[in-house]
Amino acid sequence: MALMFFLFIVLGFASYEGYAQAEPVTSVVIDNTENPITIRDGETLTISCSVYDIRPSANVSWVINGEVITEGISHNVTEDGDGFDTTSVLYMVVTSDYDQKDLICRARNDENEINTYVNKSVTLDVTNESSGPNKGMIGGLVGAASGVTVVMIIIISQTKKYKSGKCKHSSSSEKAQTA
């Protein structure tokens, strides 16, 4: 029995020889973003969250409104020297339901206590403003409708004047005779 314990200890330490010591996740980074994130209703948000130089690699997840997001996520784990870098990219269509809600990236590994996560969050500022081609198209339609209305008023006004005799119409043959 003592021999088995001795081999377990020796082999156990030998398996970690040359590797960095295991450590829990202590920080999470949401990459390249401002807080709050301003985004239009219906647009797709692409955001990444990373944990750097941790052994063993981190499990990264996303939460919004108290619910874990399970779709639209890709993960990438690379070994970097003595640890692992883990990056999670979230692709999600944002709706007005998420306005002023915190989007949370959370991470942990086997060295963290069970159900203990390290969190980083950003607030979503969801707007309903139109822009780009749709706004231009709506503005163009309103402008065209206004222009058509003005033209119709002029035509009606001139027709009434012509019928009442206040507006004299001259044809090209009358102009030729007066010349």
Peptide bond just before 24 cis, omega within 30 deg:
no
Average pLDDT (73-87) is: 94
Q: How confident is the model at residue 67 (pLDDT cuts 50, 70, 90)?
A: very high
Pairwise CA distance, residues 175 & 147, whole Å = 31
Question: Rounded to two decimals, what is the model's pTM?
Answer: 0.62
Amino acid 25: pLDDT:
95
pLDDT in tens, 30-57: 987 899 999 999 999 999 999 999 999 9
pLDDT in tens, 146-172: 444 433 444 444 545 445 555 444 444
Amino acid 32: pLDDT:
75
Q: How confident is the model at residue 115 (pLDDT cuts 50, 70, 90)?
A: confident
Please tell me whether residue 115 adopts helix, strand or coil conformation.
Answer: coil
Question: Which amino acid is residue 158, in one-letter code?
Answer: Q
Amino acid 163: pLDDT:
54
Confidence check: pLDDT of 7 > 50:
no
**Percent of the chain whose pLDDT exceeds 90:** 54
Region of 147 on the Ramachandran plot (φ > 0 left; ψ -120 to 50 alpha; else beta): alpha
> What domains can be seen in the chain, in order of their start residue?
20-127 (2.60.40.10)
Confidence check: pLDDT of 77 > 70:
yes
Buried/exposed code over 117-138 (b: 16+ C-beta within 10 A; e: otherwise): bbebebebbbeeeeeeeeeeee
